[in-house]
């Protein structure tokens, strides 16, 4: 069973059409490979998650709001990495510990 046309002009038309699609596929594959390579490089170059984070509020002076364990899913966008001593000092100064990651328990500082 032959599903191709028998004449040369239609065969050449089909060949051209399929070559066009192969080229489009090659371009799409190259773009997808580029995106994956960029994502891989981004993940490799991402700085490590800090051990402790301080979440700050909005407004004048940006007062501290909470202390989080590094990587806590409840930390907001306004966080910065801090050292263990800074985290303990913040808790001692009255900054609340996150109720989800329980930074105070992890630091051994209980109220």
Average pLDDT over residues 58-78: 89
CA torsion through residues 58, 60, 64, 70, sign = positive
SS3 of residue 46 by DSSP: coil
pTM over 0.95: no
Give the pLDDT band (50/70/90) at residue 111: low
pLDDT exceeds cutoff 90 at 76: no
Give the pLDDT band (50/70/90) at residue 91: very high
Average pLDDT over residues 40-66: 91
Q: Quick one: tokens of 103?
A: 């930074």
Alpha-carbon distance of 71 to 22, in angstroms, equals 44
């Amino acid at each position: 069973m032959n599903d191709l046309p028998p004449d040369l002009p239609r065969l050449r038309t089909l060949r051209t059409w399929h070559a066009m699609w192969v080229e489009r596929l090659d371009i799409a594959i190259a773009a997808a490979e580029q995106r994956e390579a960029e994502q891989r490089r981004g993940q490799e170059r991402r700085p490590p998650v800090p051990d402790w984070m301080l979440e700050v509020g909005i407004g004048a002076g940006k007062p501290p709001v909470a202390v989080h364990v590094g990587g806590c899913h409840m930390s907001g966008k306004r966080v910065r990495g801090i050292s263990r001593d800074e985290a303990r000092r913040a808790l001692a100064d009255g900054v609340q510990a996150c109720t989800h990651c329980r930074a105070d328990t992890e630091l051994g500082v209980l109220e």
